[in-house]
Structure 1
Amino acid sequence: MTPTTPAVASTLSRWGVLAAALALTATDLVLKAVAEQQLTSAPGPRLLGLLELRLTYNPGIAFSLGAALPAWIIVAVTGLITAAVAAYTWRTAPTTPLGGRLGLAGVLGGALANLIDRGLDGVVTDYLHTDWWPTFNLADAFIVCGAVLLVLTTAREPAPAPSKDPAPWT
């Protein structure tokens, strides 16, 4: 096995998190398209174990907050938040433990998927419903699970040493 330099390891961890985030984004977008096609061709909820498949569209942010705002404002705000998450992910991935990098990938992948979905028609497609929680989608689950994993990983690990990489954004 060839030893890698810290710069190469930093680059690999950054690109690995990005690749995982893009894979999660693609997975969510494909499932949203399938759910929309299936649930519009045969309307009505479908049981899926503890979940029910029910097609809804969210014009707002989480829990339809801001639904009365123009779509371009919601897209702009979520785009800025997604860009901030991407920048944070790129900056911290080299010093974040594996569990945290998986959490970062989940948060970024879910945010990107919902941003792309919203950018297409001004709404986010939701299709997973429980009797005790608002209807959501897989991207929402990626964001929540990723954030929980990131918090748990951060709480368990000592603070990382500052990066000695002179060009952290490259």
Structure 2
Amino acid sequence: MAEAERIIGTPDTPDAARPGQQRPGDDTSPQASARAGGPQEPATTERPRGRRRIAVLFAVAAFAYALDLVSKLVVVARLEHHAPIRLIGDWLQLEAIRNPGAAFGFGEAFTVIFTVIAAAVIVVITRLARKLYSLPWAIALGLLLGGALGNLTDRIFRSPGVFEGAVVDFIAPKHFAVFNLADSAIVCGGILIVLLSFRGLDPDGTVHKD
């Protein structure tokens, strides 16, 4: 009888485990399951979370870039070579000008240098996106990226030439430099980055205290 039980695989001892049962002393920890080649629980959700933050960054950048591009097309077609449009008396008006310098009209003699800087900023932000896990940082970097792309497009495609093109500015507050929506996006993104840094929030989502 014992020989027959051995041949068909039926245990003849009461403490032997039946299929699907756990025997005393069995190690069912995830580490043991991994050693045995069994199924493992997902270790982390960081990668999907990081992809969502990257999607937010590029969505914000695309929105800022599209808004800046459309506004400049409208200004060049409807406002350039025309009298300024007053929005709030003398305090705020729309006036189309061509700016060969940096944001807000600074540094007109260094157009090529500012073009190279803008291109470098775009590359740095794109590389930093791989380690991005913070939603506020994604929004801030998206604003910077969209603004940099908007002004870089002008410098590449507008006269007088490639990498020397003049940026279209049209928002003219009283007693202040004329600027555009790309400049506004860059400034807003920069301010947000400063605030996040003061709060100790890093792009990877960690919080540090000095």
TM interval, short-chain normalised: 0.7 to 0.9
Tell me the residue number matched to 1:111: 148
> Does the 8 Å CA contact 1:110/1:143 hold for their aligned counterparts?
yes
The 3-state SS of whatever aligns with 1:40 is coil
8 A contact 1:128–1:136 mirrored in 2: yes
Matched residue SS, 2:175: coil
Which of structures 1 and 2 has the larger relative contact order (alpha carbons within 8 angstroms, sep 6+)? 1
Partner residue in 2 for 1:40: 80
Structure 1 partner of 2:120: 80
Shift of 1:48: 1.7
The correspondence for 1:146, drawn from 173, 180, 189, is 189
Which is worse superposed, 55-64 or 25-34?
55-64
Distance 1:15 1:131, change over 3 A: same
Relative to the length of structure 2, the TM-score reads: 0.65
Kindly report structure 1 stretches of 4+ aligned residues shifted beyond 6 Å.
none
Q: Which residue of 2 aligns with 1:165?
A: none
Higher CA-based Rg: 2
- Aligned match of 2:93 in 52, 60, 71? 52
List runs of 5+ in structure 2 lacking aligned partners: 1-43, 159-164
Mapped partners of 1:76, 1:104: distance in 2: 18
Taking only the aligned residue pairs, the percentage that are identical comes to 33
The structure in which a higher percent of residues are helix is: 1
Q: Deviations over 1:84-140 (max 9, x none)?
A: 23333x14521x2x3332222111111111111221111110000011210000110
Q: In the alignment, what sits opposite 2:166? A: 123
Q: 1:11 aligns with which of 44, 48, 51?
A: 51
Q: C-alpha separation between the residues in 2 aligned to 1:92 and 1:145?
A: 22
The unaligned stretches of length 5 or more in structure 1 are 163-170
Residue of 57, 68, 71 corresponding to 2:109? 68
Q: Does the 8 A contact of 2:80 with 2:97 survive in 1?
A: no
Within-5 A mapping of 1:81-100: 81-88=121-128, 90-94=129-133, 96=134, 98-100=135-137
How much does 1:157 deviate? 4.3
Contact 1:57 1:124 in 2 (8 A): yes
TM-score by length of 1: 0.79
Distance (Å, rounded) in 2 between the aligned partners of 1:125 and 1:58: 6
The one-letter amino acid of 1:55's match is A
CA distance in 2, matches of 1:75, 1:12: 30
Amino acid at match of 2:86: L
Q: Which residue of 2 aligns with 1:20?
A: 60
Of 131, 136, 139 in structure 2, the residue corresponding to residue 102 of structure 1 is: 139
Counterpart residue identity of residue 100, structure 2:
P
Q: One-letter code of the match for 2:68?
A: D
